[in-house]
Each structure stands twice: as C-alpha cells, then as structure tokens.
Structure 1
C-alpha cells in the first residue's frame, strides 16, 4: 500500500495495533499490520520474557514497544520507594475507595496490605531499564505514551535505527514532539481509551497534519478508530495510517478478562467516561458504579500521578479477580480502559480476521469516495 508508514515500518497495511497481549501483537504483524506491545505493566525482567516470546513466534515480522515515561510526575524526583509515595496519599482517599467496595459486598480490609508498585516505569531509572530491554530486541518502533520521549530513548533510537513515536492530544504537543526529534506522531483524539486529551479525532487529525505538513514527520490517527471506514476517513484527512487499541481488547487472542469482554461487547459508545480518577491524568474508561462514585460530588479530587494509582489499582485488581469467580458486586464495579469505539465492537473475532476486515472496509470506503467523484 502506498503509505509513508508502510515504507518506514516495512508493512503491507498501515494499521498499528497497540496491545498489552503478546499474542495480539504477533497475529497482527503476521497478518500484514504492525503490532505494538504495551509495556506499562511490565518490569524489565517480565518485558524481557514477553519480547523473547514475540521474537520466537512472529516469523521475523516487524513489531514495536510502547511504554510510559512521563515528563512531569508528583513525588518521584528523586526516586522514592513505593511506601514513601503511598504515605503522601491522605487517608480519606483510601477510605473512599474502600467504601465503594464495601457498598458492593466486597471486603476491603486486605486491599492495601500490599503496595502497588508504580516505580517500574514512572521514574527515570525505571523507564531507562525498560528502554534498555526493548532495544535489546529487534524492534522497529518504540513509542512513548505520555509526553516527550526522554532524550535517552530518542538517542538510542537514532543509534540503533529504531523509529521513535509519541502520542499527543493537541497541535502544540505535536510541534514539541517534532522539535524533540520523534519520527512519527500519533495524534490521539478524546475518543481514545486510556490516557487522552479533550479534542475530537475528527478535528485533531487535520489540525495536526496541517501544522506538520512541511516537517516530513508522518501522522498516525488514533481515538475511537475500530473500522476500516474510519481509517479511510482519517487518511483522507492526511493521516498516513492509524493507531488502534480498543478494538483488540475483545479479540479472541486478547487476555482481557471474560467479564470485561462481555461488558465491552454489550456497551454503547456513550458508556465510557473520561476521568482523572484512575491514574491522576485524564483517561477514558468503561463506565461502572466505580467510575460513577469517583465522578460524584462526594468523591475527593483525584491526586496527581502516581499518587492516585496508589488508591485505585489494588481495589480494581481485587474487583477483577472477584468478578471472574462470579461475585455480582465485583461484576458491576469492573471497568477497564476502552475508547468510545466500543459501541462498534459487537462480536469476538480473531486478530487476523479484524486486520482483514479493516482492509476490506478500507477498500469499500475508498471506492465510495471514488464513486462520489464520477458522473
């Protein structure tokens, strides 16, 4: 396919699939797209195992890694032990989260016995160790999900011939990324799952493509994109391809818990919420009584990253485990990051089938546009 992204990444079709599941990464790359492993939940040793597995199963096809190395965080300079970070959280936050669980018949007494370790990727040293692991494998792309990539990442990319990408949500951020030296800009609209801005994909893509038109840096469109028709629309606005995430959460290979898969497949596009309550930065999640509680007037104001995660991650981990063994209160509370495109995700398919469906939908949409120009 004639696309700058296809040329840069040596792929057949400019469909980028972000997933925390290694199986999805492999299957998408083997089908002609480009799989990107989300490394935010891995420490260095775990990431090493995941990437080694991918290397063994991907048949030499190209793939990438996405991590989080935010440029501004509270309570992490210099690096602090998790217990010290946790002590900065007022008790009312733990009490509020525990109260949500108790109201849904979930015992909260053991929720905070174990500390949530955010140091694996939210510190300079932690991010550097993960970056080193990633560059020890034949990756074609490394992306930073929050802010400008650290110079260490960009410099290593240049040295090893690995492309650097970064996700942005505004035109101004796109300019900063290009000035920092990134090779690909991922313009992510507010419809996206996970961390996102407040500008819609339909507005953001042409805005970013316009401001970067003379830079030589290609733009990937992201945010609510789950069909080939949407992909064609974004490329008609100037994008060189698309970066997708939510659509892979319900595919057959995904490790998304069954209860959450079911909730996503039944959800409408209105059943997500953009909130700071999960990590301290705005992120889009599947709406549930858990998110409703944090959006209520009774909720304390979300703390900065990484403090808020100390409050939310342990309770949500327990919710997920209990939901999978049939606890009704936990099933109701269960939530996950997902974009507004969830309303178009109505069935479970293999990752390969989704790639091929994207291709077919793209062709149909392209023919529709072409037909509109003929008499």
Structure 2
C-alpha cells in the first residue's frame, strides 16, 4: 500500500495518528504509520522531554507534531496578542458565578491544598490558544528530527513555514471547508487535512462525503488527508476512493491499550454510541465535538450565560476541568460532568486493542474492500459463485 504521502514522509501505511499520548505516537510510527503528538497543552520543557522519549522509542521512524495556531486573535484589531492577565480580566463575573455554581451543584470539591502550588495539566494548558506560546513550542520541536508540523485553527505563520522547510520538515494545514484551502496553499503547506463534521475536537459543519472530494479538487496536486469518522478499513478505503492520499485519525487511539486516556473516560467511550457526541462551544469557545455530558448540557441550558469567545471560554474553564478530572473517582457529579473530545465514530470503539492491531485491521480491511471492488467490477465475483 503506497500513496504519494508514503513517499513524501517515508512511511509504510498512509495512516496518521493524532494523539496527546506519546506512547500512542511511538506505537503508530513503529507499526508503519505516522504518529503525531498534540503539543498544545504542554510547556516547552515538557515537550522537550516528550520528544526525546519518542525519538528513543522510534529510532529512525518518522513522526511529527500538531499545534493549535489561531489565525484570529481575540480583542486586538492590530493583530497583537493580549497578555493572559488582560484576557482573564475580560471574563464577565456572571460567567464565573455560573461555573462556580455549576461545580457546587454537582458536588465537585475544590482542589486539595497540597496541590495548589503544583503545575497541574489544565492549569498549564491555560495558554493552549496562544499563538505566541504555540510558536515557541514549535521552535522546540524543530530542534528534533520531526518530519511534519500540522497547523490547526488556521494557516501557519510564514516564518514558521520557512524555518520548517529549511530543515526539510513538511507542513500540513487543517481545513473544514473548501474556502480554507487557498489560504493554506498560499501559506506554503505541503499537505491539506480535510477535517469533516464527524471529527473530534475543533471541526466544521460539512460532512466527509462532501468535504473530502471538494478539498481534493481545490488542493490540486497537493496531497489531501481525510479526517473525521475513520476507524476501520472500510472507512479508510472510502477516504481513498474520495481522492484522499491518506487518513488522519484521532478518536480510534483513545481506547487503545497504549492510550493514557483517563480510565473513567475510557469506560464512557467504550459504552458510547455514535449519537453520544455533541458539537459545543462550552470548553474552548470554538465549535468542538465532544462526548455528550452534563457539562455541555448545562452550558446549553436556559440558565447558562452562554459561552464566551475563544480563548476566554478556555481560560474560564481550565481550573474547573482540572477539578472535575481530579474528583471523578470520588464524586458522582464530577463523573457526569467529565468528558473528552471524540468523534461520532466513537460508536464503533467498543473494544480495547493494541495500536499495532488497529493499524493491521485498518490496512487489512482496506485491502479487502479494494479487492472486493476489483472482483465486482471485473466480474470475478460472479465467476466465483
């Protein structure tokens, strides 16, 4: 199985794995795919540690990173990024009251005093939607032998593209509509990732059957990866049939043996159906597909003050999400509130598998579909009867 992106990046299978878990990233690359580490919630020092570990694990196998580089910044029309303190000062008091009341109603306790001075994951991640912070992370990444940088939330800055290309690193840009393709191409990306409505995380409102061929046509000779609703060989084959040169998957790795997904979240994922997700503004202020939970329902309810624009909503919610995750084992209310970004394909994630098995099943299933098409179109299927 070879497509143009296999030759471009030196991989055996055109299966790209977005994950915040370094174990998943390494396992995918070692199995012949391409692991991509999400860096948005890391500090530069943490990223340095993660990348060193991945390098040691994968040897000369290729891997990359994914960053959230917002194309639009909140509040300042001049284009300058406002300091976090100024952003937090713009959060209305009624929103702070709503979230405090919400946590109280669901019985979510305050963080233990001994944790107050620690560097907690969500506290660190307050700057996840900062362009300045994301670019600083990518400067760290470029000191390592990565092969790809994926830019979400808009086209990458020109200086980043130039720096990456000087080091032989490819750039991919995520799009949710045909109209976004030209901006990414003008920025100099080498790959386009078409992320459809079904996908987890920040996504648009166009389904994959429509979006993928539209983006393929608009991208011209630039290869396209299909993202959203892909966890099986049949879905892999469908993406290739629509013109994609590979697939970009995220949700399917959340229930693997290697994934560091919170055990209670993993239980929810394994029980969920394809109807148990919702596209909501309630965590980041941008449309984001997540598990349907009490958190999302409360933010959409009649007593909600409404979600704030990004990054204000994220700054408001970061500490609350930390409290919810910490309390989930002891608080039923916290368990009801706790969710995770996941796509509609969650309905088929009902078994825990090792990463290498997921890769094998996707490739084997895809090849079986291709052979079935070949037999049908050539008439061999009728002869076999």
Q: TM-score when scaled to structure 2?
A: 0.92
Q: Which residue of 2 aligns with 1:248?
A: 253
Where do 5+ consecutive residues of structure 1 fail to align?
none
1:119–1:126 contact (8 Å) kept in structure 2: no
Equivalent residue for 2:95, pick from 78, 93, 96: 93
Is 2:165 the counterpart of 1:158? yes
2:39–2:67 contact (8 Å) kept in structure 1: yes
Shift of 1:219: 0.2
Is 2:367 the counterpart of 1:360? no
Q: How does 1:300-315 map to 2 (within 5 A)?
A: 300-315=305-320
Is 2:281 the counterpart of 1:279? no
RMSD after superposition? 1.9
Q: Determine the C-alpha separation between the residues in 2 that align with 1:6 and 1:210.
A: 20
Q: Determine the C-alpha separation between the residues in 1 that align with 2:124 and 2:321.
A: 14
Equivalent residue for 2:84, pick from 73, 82, 85: 82
Equivalent residue for 1:295, pick from 300, 303, 306: 300
1:81–1:119 contact (8 Å) kept in structure 2: no
- SS of 1:259's equivalent? helix
Provide closer, same or farther for how the CA distance between residues 227 and 104 of structure 1 changes in structure 2, counting only shifts above 3 A: same
Q: Determine the C-alpha separation between the residues in 1 that align with 2:187 and 2:267.
A: 41
1:17–1:25 contact (8 Å) kept in structure 2: yes
- SS of 1:17's equivalent? strand
Q: Determine the C-alpha separation between the residues in 2 that align with 1:161 and 1:252.
A: 33
Q: Which residue of 1 aligns with 2:342?
A: 338
Q: Which residue of 2 aligns with 1:4?
A: 4
Provide closer, same or farther for how the CA distance between residues 118 and 72 of structure 1 changes in structure 2, counting only shifts above 3 A: farther
- SS of 1:238's equivalent? coil
Shift of 1:110: 8.5
Q: Which residue of 1 aligns with 2:269?
A: 264
Q: Determine the C-alpha separation between the residues in 1 that align with 2:318 and 2:112.
A: 13
Shift of 1:2: 2.4
Shift of 1:69: 1.0
Q: Determine the C-alpha separation between the residues in 1 that align with 2:111 and 2:18.
A: 36
1:101–1:108 contact (8 Å) kept in structure 2: no
Provide closer, same or farther for how the CA distance between residues 16 and 157 of structure 1 changes in structure 2, counting only shifts above 3 A: same
Provide closer, same or farther for how the CA distance between residues 119 and 344 of structure 1 changes in structure 2, counting only shifts above 3 A: closer
Equivalent residue for 1:180, pick from 187, 192, 208: 187
Q: Determine the C-alpha separation between the residues in 1 that align with 2:340 and 2:129.
A: 20
Shift of 1:42: 0.7
Shift of 1:296: 1.6
Q: Determine the C-alpha separation between the residues in 2 that align with 1:203 and 1:245.
A: 20
Q: Which residue of 1 aligns with 2:382?
A: none
Q: Determine the C-alpha separation between the residues in 2 that align with 1:119 and 1:151.
A: 25
Q: Determine the C-alpha separation between the residues in 2 that align with 1:99 and 1:302.
A: 15
Shift of 1:79: 4.2
Q: Which residue of 2 aligns with 1:62?
A: 62
Shift of 1:75: 4.0
Provide closer, same or farther for how the CA distance between residues 89 and 235 of structure 1 changes in structure 2, counting only shifts above 3 A: same
